[in-house]
Amino acid sequence: MKNIRPASLGLSVILAVAIVLAGCGSPSSPSPVNTAPATLAYVFGVESGTYGMLTYSTAPANSGSPVGSLQAAGQQGPIATDSAGQIYVVGGNPDGLPDQGAIFVYPPNSTGSASPSRTINLDYFPNRLAVDPTGRIYATNLTGGGTPQTVFVYAADANGPAKPLRTILLTNVVPFVTDMVADAAGNLYLAALLRNSNQWTVAVYPPTANGPSLPVRTIDFGDNGLAWVYGVAVDSKGDIFASVCSGCYVGASTIEEFAPGAQGAAVPINTINLSAGSLGQINAGGPVRVDGAGNIFTSLAIWPPGPASGPVNVFYGFAPDATGDAVPTVQFSPPEGGINGWLALN
């Protein structure tokens, strides 16, 4: 079976992070606290031969079919949303410059061929994207060889050729981050592989991180690099969630929840076991997202039984009190395949 790894290396997964007080911006600027359940999930996929961002209902009565789509300009990478419902999409540079990208920001509930309300032009192409509860924007660059990745932090109202507020050079992380998120205080959480240790971790950086930086703590998953951490999220209580594939290709994938101060070889306070069931065999994990009401969403790359050209992405939602072999409250998959497991909530 083909060995598939996170999106920067082939297939799989998706978001958010930290600092400095940014201006409030327009009236649509997000507020720091969001306790509402998500009603929509955004993913990338193919429908009727067209590649785009598909919108799904998160309600348990979800029929499995998208309720809308957005043909975002030049979309090629991660997506994110803020607490005001604005949609952020990574795409190619509007001027067609090679190896450069942009973040297109769309008004809430944009569909069809809607135009972005603003475009942030970048001199690199982001491979991860996040927006924190105060609206600050975080993006990582895609590097090669032994060059460390950088997290660029932008103001909530960034537009055009914006300059970052801060740049965090990830000196102890292998040059790709599978997922990232930030809490309202500006703490940054990265799902990544530690340099020189072959160990997957959730690395936590403080709001003051700038320049060459080391995490203030890590949650370590051991297993000699076999426990891949594909996603990370933080809920309103500060609990940390990790999407872990401890033996992908044999079906062992979980969502593990940790207490706010967890570090080292911490024991999770809750675990949800993920199963592909009759859909096939788990090939890779995906991002994990938690909405304001505590509902938990994730995706799996699943290899269907019999001949197949490759894995498909299947998305799952779980109730806040889900544990063990809990049954998903919602499940869907793009009609012609998902793209890299990108996932955002609204």
How far are the Cα atoms of 40, 131, 181, 202, 217 from residue 211, in angstroms, in the given order? 36, 20, 19, 20, 17
Q: What amino acid occupies position 26?
A: S
Residue written as tokens 């590649």? 51
Summarize pLDDT for 196-239 with one digit per residue, the tens. 777 889 999 999 999 999 999 999 987 665 688 999 999 989 99
CA dihedral 292, 228, 302, 327 (to 10 degrees): -40
* Beta strands per DSSP E along 101-172: 101-106, 118-121, 126-131, 137-141, 150-154, 166-170
Q: What average pLDDT does the chain have? A: 82
Indicate if the pLDDT at residue 125 is higher than 90. no
Summarize pLDDT for 72-111 with one digit per residue, the tens. 766 667 889 998 999 999 888 777 677 788 999 999 999 8
Task: List the single range of 32-36, 242-246, 283-287, 295-299 with lowest mean pLDDT.
Answer: 32-36
The proportion of the chain whose per-residue pLDDT surpasses 90, expressed as a percent, equals 44
Rounded to whole angstroms, the Cα distance separating 249 from 246 reads: 9
Provide the β-strand partners of residue 238: none
Rounded to whole angstroms, the Cα distance separating 328 from 274 reads: 9
3-state secondary structure at position 295: coil
> pTM to 2 decimals?
0.86
Rounded to whole angstroms, the Cα distance separating 71 from 111 reads: 8
CA 222 to chain centre: 22
Q: What does DSSP assign to residue 224?
A: G
Would you call 129 exposed, middle or buried from its count of C-beta atoms within 10 A (0-12, 13-18, 19+)?
buried
Q: Are 173 and 193 within 8 A, CB to CB? A: yes
Q: Are 129 and 15 within 8 A, CB to CB? A: yes
Q: What is the CATH number of domain 40-345?
A: 2.120.10.30
Summarize pLDDT for 140-186 with one digit per residue, the tens. 987 665 667 899 999 999 999 999 999 999 988 876 789 999 888 88
Domain spans in the chain, listed from the N-terminal domain onward = 40-345
Pairing of strands 87-92, 75-81: antiparallel
Q: Are 306 and 317 within 8 A, CB to CB? A: no
How far are the Cα atoms of 35, 168, 195, 217, 238 from residue 214, in angstroms, in the given order? 32, 9, 11, 9, 21
Rounded to whole angstroms, the Cα distance separating 128 from 315 reads: 19
> Would you state the pLDDT for residue 338?
57
Summarize pLDDT for 18-56 with one digit per residue, the tens. 323 233 333 344 445 567 888 998 887 766 666 778 888
